[in-house]
């Protein structure tokens, strides 16, 4: 891991999986910031700037994202960005609410 991420508000990962001759890449960003409209917009912009054509899937994880509470914000931000990426959101801190959506 690069030293610059030690004090960063988020940590990006590039996950690669090879199935036969085909390699699939997923860009994952874990953020300690709260799930808000502006933070989600910033993270999507970061993902779009730092991925290339081989990445089609992006997953953004926060500690307080819950689909029931944040679906309106998610739809609004994704519609505003017109993302060509397949963006999914998740929660990296499991509790009874996040485990119910598995």
Tell me if 85 sits within 8 A of 55, measured CB to CB: yes
pTM above 0.75, yes or no: yes
Four-point Cα dihedral 83, 60, 7, 52, nearest 10: -40
* pLDDT, averaged across the chain: 85
* Beta strand segments in 32-68, E: 55-62
DSSP annotation of 5 reads: G
pLDDT of residue 82: 76
Query: What pLDDT, on the 0 to 100 scale, is given for residue 74?
Result: 92
Tell me the β-bridge partners of 87: 58
For residue 17, with 0-12 CB atoms within 10 Å meaning exposed, 13-18 middle and 19 or more buried, which class applies?
exposed
| Residue 17 confidence (pLDDT) | 86
Which residue numbers in the chain have pLDDT < 50?
A: none
């Amino acid at each position: 891991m690069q030293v610059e991420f030690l004090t960063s508000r988020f940590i990006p990962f590039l996950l690669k999986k090879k199935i036969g001759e085909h390699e699939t890449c997923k860009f994952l960003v874990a953020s300690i910031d709260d799930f808000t409209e502006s933070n989600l917009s910033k993270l999507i912009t970061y993902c779009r700037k730092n991925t290339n054509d081989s990445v089609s899937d992006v997953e953004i994880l926060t500690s307080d994202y819950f689909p029931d509470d944040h679906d309106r914000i998610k739809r609004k931000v994704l519609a505003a960005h017109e993302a060509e990426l397949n963006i999914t959101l998740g929660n990296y801190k499991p509790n009874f609410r996040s485990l119910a959506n598995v």
